[in-house]
Amino acid sequence: MKTANIIPFFVIIPLASAFLITVFKNRPKNFSDFVVILATFSLLLLSLNSLQLLNSSKMIIYKIGGWLPPLGICLVVDGLAGFMLVTVNLTVFLVMVYAIRYMQLYTDKWKFHSLFMLMLAGMNGIIISGDLFNLYVFLEVASICAYALVAFGTEPEDLEAAFKYTIMGSLASLFILLGIGLIYCYVSTLNMADISFALSAKPNGALIGFVSVLFLAGFGLKAALVPFHAWLPDAHSSAPTPVSAVLSGVLIKTLGIYALSRVFFNILGISGNILLVLIVLGMLSMVAGAFLAIVQTDVKRMFAYSSISQIGYIIFAFGIGTPLAILGGLFHLFNHAIFKSLLFLNAGAIEYSTGRRDLRKLGGLGSKLPVTGATSLLGSMSISGIPPLSGFWSKLIIIIASVQAGYIGFAFIAVLVSIVTLAYYLKFQTFAFLGKVDETLTKIKEIPMTMKLSMVILAGICVVAGLMLVPLFRPILKSAADVLSSGTGYRYAVFEALK
Amino acid sequence: MSLYFLCLILFCVGLYCVLRKRNIIKIIIGLVIIEYAVNLFFILIGYRTHGRAPILSEDQVIQNMVDPLPQAMVLTTIVIGLAVTVVLVSLAIRIYEKYGTFDITKIKRLKG
């Protein structure tokens, strides 16, 4: 039972470091950098350790205050949560290494660090929460910090984007809250496993349909699925680069996709209609995101639209619903977290040394910024699905799964979108790194060592992530996918683990 | 039942305000109205007619009590709502400094 004691630290460490940073600000010098790197690194080690522990037991449960769930609140780490924890903490650690130097472009770095740590506490909290209302609270903690971080630069564009994001985001949260209220009113419990039990004992009324719609709108807005995507390109392109990298890389996945799949697959129980809705939303996001990305000239805006498109792939894979498709979707989620944060960091490096983001005013940077050029080439190839990089494998699995499930037309569209993806990443490569050096760009400053380091590590992960499919590492993905494909079997697993 | 219906109307009023108004401050007020509608809904869930506070004492037998859990949740959501409102209002102040207007149709530098 001792192993469960590590779970609360996923929330305690970032919360405590946010508090410490706010108290000590920047005295002694660079104190906040030190705390943040230490905290995120220890979280990364902890999350890897939790994967190790999951090998022996399928599920670890921490009971807050010793109260048994349904009565008390519990924190649950199962295969899916462990996988998400590693994805989040790995990305955040590398982004924070990058931010050491990059955030010197801004004033009040400690405020950035403190908000960032609070956001991390929220994200980790969502992943480990075993209680529906706690999930909402952590979701709001993460969201509010994200709103503030988008406005961190306080330029007019940042404020405008942050305002839009805040209105849309809090509307989404209120939909989710209303859904939680209706569920509580129906089954009189908030524990996820217990809700699932109570729902199975009751007839499947119209209420569950209504709640599903509320959750779909709420989490769909958080995940920026296509009819609800309008805030994402503004918010993700206006935020400071480390923030956009984490927003695009992991925030929309934990707040949107993880919460959505946990609620629909494990609690409400998935039905054919919801799967169909997920497929349609996924397809729409995939196609619309790709075609909107291709016309963009702002680097970060292009990447933001590309995020919408790739999120579409993941949701489409979940919508197919076969175990293979879910495995592909989760693998793509991990890969997207890695290469999208890498690409945003590349865009940040370009902005750091040249001060521009407009593709038409860039050119020939390949010789000036060799590390950025090489890593962004790897990232672009990976996201467009060139073998043997990671993005190829995950897209391949999704497409194979959709053909197996009989969605041949959709599989064809997925391949086409992949080609469009290649097209706009080629556009990015050509405009930014190839061609003649613009005269105004001959004297640009080289990017610092720490920024290079984190980009190189991310690019390295892009290259080797395909190895997650070999039998040695496959159990990690497999156990994560099993949680979703077992559906409402989650409730038996929780009560089994409690005994 | 009519209470729930009024609660729904309050929600729709707020939603209309957020979607249709052009002034930033009015949009914020609309959001707060929606939040209050949801809070009210939570309180209604826990309400029992002639119910009393669920406090356990030795010499009393409580037959009919209100559900305390939604009230605890509403406390949390009020705090969260406060945080969101603070963020929104401070954003509105900064937007007014930069753009000199509260009209969202005039605040549109981001396109595409």
Residue A191, strand partner residues: A131
Q: Is residue A443 pLDDT above 80, yes or no? A: no
Q: Judge if the upstream peptide bond of residue A14 is cis by omega within 30 degrees of 0.
A: no
User: 3-state SS of A216-272?
Assistant: HHHHHHHHCCHHHCCHHHHHHHHCCHHHHHHHHHHHHHHHHHHHHHHHHHHHHCCCH
At A409, the pLDDT band (50, 70, 90 cuts) reads very high
Q: B9 lies in which domain range? A: 2-53+65-106
Measured from the Cβ of residue A172, the count of other Cβ atoms closer than 10 Å reads 24
pLDDT of residue A497: 83
Domain boundaries, given as residue ranges, for chain A: 2-498
A144, A150, A159, best to mutate vs chain B, most B CBs in 10 Å:
A159
pLDDT of residue A59: 87
Top pLDDT among A272 and A400 is at A400
pLDDT of residue B50: 83
CB contact under 8 A, A137 and B76: yes
Our count of domains for chain B comes to 1
Which amino acid would we find at residue B105? T
Distances (CA, A) of A476 to A84, A174, A467, B27: 11, 34, 12, 45
With respect to residue B48, please indicate whether it lies within any of the assigned structural domains: yes
pLDDT of residue A72: 85
pLDDT digits (tens, 9 = 90+) for B82-99: 999 999 999 999 999 999
pLDDT of residue A80: 93
Phi, psi at residue A437, to the nearest 5°? -75, 130
With respect to residue B60, please indicate whether it lies within any of the assigned structural domains: no
At A163, the pLDDT band (50, 70, 90 cuts) reads very high
CA distance A140 to chain B (A): 7
pLDDT digits (tens, 9 = 90+) for A352-383: 988 888 888 887 888 888 899 999 999 999 99
Type and span of the H or E element at A135? helix A132-150
CA A429 to chain centroid: 24
For residue A171, which residues of chain B lie inside 8 Å, CB to CB? 18, 31, 34
pLDDT of residue B112: 56
pLDDT digits (tens, 9 = 90+) for A192-221: 999 999 998 888 778 889 999 999 999 999
A170 touches chain B (CB under 8 A): yes
CB contact under 8 A, B83 and A161: no
Reduce the DSSP state of residue A60 to 3 states and report it: strand
For residues A70-94, average pLDDT: 92
Q: Tell me the C-alpha distance between A141 and A119, whole Å.
A: 7
pLDDT of residue B43: 92
Percent of chain A with pLDDT over 70: 100
Q: Tell me the C-alpha distance between A231 and A292, whole Å.
A: 14
CB contact under 8 A, A233 and B112: yes
CB-based contacts of A310: which residues, under 8 Å, 6+ apart?
A: A289, A332, A336, A340, A383
At A499, the pLDDT band (50, 70, 90 cuts) reads confident
For residue B108, which residues of chain A lie inside 8 Å, CB to CB? 160
pLDDT digits (tens, 9 = 90+) for A423-437: 999 999 998 888 777
Q: Tell me the C-alpha distance between A218 and A222, whole Å.
A: 6
With respect to residue B59, please indicate whether it lies within any of the assigned structural domains: no
With respect to residue B111, please indicate whether it lies within any of the assigned structural domains: no
- Which segments within chain B are labelled E, that is strand? none
Decide if A54 contacts A479 (C-beta within 8 A).
Answer: yes
Q: Is A271 exposed, middle or buried (0-12, 13-18, 19+ CB in 10 A)?
A: middle
pLDDT digits (tens, 9 = 90+) for A11-27: 999 999 999 999 988 78
CB contact under 8 A, A298 and B112: yes
Q: Tell me the C-alpha distance between B49 and B52, whole Å.
A: 9
CB contact under 8 A, A184 and B35: no
Q: Is residue A135 pLDDT above 90, yes or no? A: yes
A303, A162, A452: which is closest to B92 by C-alpha? A162
CA A68 to chain centroid: 31
Residue A129, strand partner residues: A75
At A450, the pLDDT band (50, 70, 90 cuts) reads very high
Show the low-confidence residues of chain B (pLDDT under 70): 111-112
Q: Is residue A1 pLDDT above 70, yes or no? A: no
Q: Provide the residue count of chain A.
A: 499
CA distance A469 to chain B (A): 38
**Domain CATH number, residue B87:** 1.10.287.3510
Which amino acid would we find at residue B22? R
Of A156, A166, A181, the CB nearest to B42: A181
A71 touches chain B (CB under 8 A): no
Which DSSP category does A499 fall into? -
Q: Is residue A60 pLDDT above 60, yes or no? A: yes
What is the rounded average pLDDT for all residues in chain A? 91
A326, A456, A461, A462: which is closest to A383 by C-alpha? A462
Of A162, A167, A181, the CB nearest to B27: A167
pLDDT digits (tens, 9 = 90+) for A462-497: 999 888 888 888 888 888 999 898 888 888 888 888
Decide if B93 contacts B24 (C-beta within 8 A).
Answer: no
A157 touches chain B (CB under 8 A): yes
